[in-house]
A and B are shown apart, each in its own frame.
Chain A
């Protein structure tokens, strides 16, 4: 599996530090035990100690990866899954931002929007799947809908909260300097709420990914989930493990994407700023 390393403190020279980190990682002592486990797993599988239908050998997974990539099966299904997440995220994050702005920027909006959402929030998301199937059938709609709903709440809750906790002293100062309501929102409130929004975005990516896995169990004829379902029927643990790795890899990639966004958008933050 992937190894998780803690990041060293950021410096002003990302390229150099990345090089150093990469060089350090090549013979890092932390890499030893995962490698040993991987080796034991391989040996166990080859000697038949771990049966193929329980867990395929790492080398077999790698081979499957090559096969499925060359046949186009993996890229195609991956694309289908990615598009589902993208569509769901777009809807969920878009709605989350709009409603959080409504509730965050006006008292009347809050009274209107917040109470029902706070009630809905307490429903366990994945328990809604049966209802979604009844409402939307088993096509793309319930899948994208579930992802959208999952992505919606973290963005709504975090952005709403962030708007409300923008430093009142900064708002007061901006009013003294004659900013209009619109300028106040643009120059003070939205940038002040940006860290909260990005935190929400990160959470919502995680939830969206989880929702995808569940949603694709609903009679999917394409996507990573359908690949897993077929593999399950034929006891192809190599394909299942491969898909798990792909899920994990994309989760990491999405997280890195938001972090890159943070570094850009929050360049003013003391943790990023080096005088």
Chain B
């Protein structure tokens, strides 16, 4: 175990806790004998974009499920906005509902279609509103899933590796789309990802989760739109990779 202080409170200094969209205090989650989350504390500010990195089994998905309210079996304090929603790794569209019906799922019937069409137009799927999900490409399906989340105008948007299954080019386009949507709607975002570059391009703060604790916090201050060739980003990238247990040959680890 290489974490210096086992009980580490992570808060962002420039946001007073009262203004935080998410407040987690001393969160513990056990599955049988294994502690997946250990005394985890975290604030996410309003409209803050957080990226959560970590190896498989580090507790990323567990944390996201707790924040989404899917899992309610933790000890500790969790405060989240009631209006929260998730985009999963798989689009999870209902195959028996047309694209717009998927987006309008659970909305009040009256203006459901209008709102769904607007959200679909925003993600560039205006031409596919009446299609069956089975006919969508991977990128289109994930954009529909994004529209389904956005149409609820969430205060907290949880993204669970939403780009992991997409090809590289589609992923780049999705990055731009998510950033643009975040700028327009200003939700707080927690993006769970394996991709260090993605985290650095999009997030205000990058967190590394390790054995159920936040092991590293990396505020990203580079101006947007960001470039991976930015020396500051490169240094952060090396630091994050080192914390994740990857050493680069051409760069000395700090």
Which positions in A face B, CB cutoff 8 Å? Answer: 169-170, 172-179, 183, 187-188, 191-192, 194, 266-270, 273, 275
The answer to whether A179 and B105 touch across the interface, beta carbons within 8 angstroms, is yes
The answer to whether B70 and A172 touch across the interface, beta carbons within 8 angstroms, is yes
- Pick the interface stretch among B30-38, B87-95, B112-120, B230-238: B87-95
Nearest chain B residue, comparing its CB with the CB of A180: B106
Chain B, interface SS category? loop
Tell me which of B88, B134, B135 contacts A173 (CB under 8 A): B88
Within 154-179 of B, Cβ neighbours of A (below 8 Å) are at: none
Scoring A169, A173, A178 by chain B CB atoms within 10 A of each residue's CB, the highest score goes to A173
The answer to whether A191 and B70 touch across the interface, beta carbons within 8 angstroms, is no
Q: With A173-B92, A177-B106 in contact, is A268–B134 under 8 Å at CB?
A: yes
Scoring B95, B96, B132 by chain A CB atoms within 10 A of each residue's CB, the highest score goes to B96
A36 to chain B, nearest CB (A): 44
Tell me which of A178, A191, A275 contacts B94 (CB under 8 A): A191
Chain A, interface SS category? helix
A195 to chain B, nearest CB (A): 10
The answer to whether A178 and B96 touch across the interface, beta carbons within 8 angstroms, is no
Q: Taking A177-B106, A178-B106 as given, write out 5 further A-B residue pairs in contact, using a Cβ cutoff of 8 Å, ordered by the A residue number.
A: A169-B90, A173-B88, A175-B70, A192-B96, A268-B132
Range class of the B interface residue count: 20 to 34
B109 to chain A, nearest CB (A): 11
Which positions in B face A, CB cutoff 8 Å? Answer: 68-70, 85-86, 88, 90, 92, 94-97, 105-106, 131-135, 148, 152
Taking CB atoms, residues of chain B closer than 8 Å to A266 are 96
B186 to chain A, nearest CB (A): 21
B60 to chain A, nearest CB (A): 17
Tell me which of B88, B105, B131, B134 contacts A169 (CB under 8 A): B88
Tell me which of B106, B131, B132 contacts A179 (CB under 8 A): B106
Q: With A170-B92, A269-B95 in contact, is A176–B86 under 8 Å at CB?
A: yes
17 contacts between A and B (CB under 8 A): A169-B88, A170-B94, A172-B70, A174-B105, A174-B106, A176-B68, A177-B148, A179-B105, A183-B106, A187-B94, A187-B97, A188-B94, A192-B94, A269-B134, A273-B132, A273-B135, A275-B135
Taking CB atoms, residues of chain A closer than 8 Å to B69 are 176
Closest 8 A/B residue pairs (Cβ): A275-B135, A173-B92, A191-B96, A270-B134, A268-B96, A177-B106, A268-B132, A178-B106
The answer to whether A177 and B95 touch across the interface, beta carbons within 8 angstroms, is no
In the bound complex, CA of A173 to CA of B86 (Å): 8
In the bound complex, CA of A48 to CA of B148 (Å): 75
Scoring A170, A183, A268 by chain B CB atoms within 10 A of each residue's CB, the highest score goes to A268
The answer to whether B134 and A273 touch across the interface, beta carbons within 8 angstroms, is yes
Nearest chain B residue, comparing its CB with the CB of A191: B96
Nearest chain A residue, comparing its CB with the CB of B82: A178
The answer to whether A177 and B85 touch across the interface, beta carbons within 8 angstroms, is yes
A252 to chain B, nearest CB (A): 28
The answer to whether A268 and B68 touch across the interface, beta carbons within 8 angstroms, is no
B217 to chain A, nearest CB (A): 27
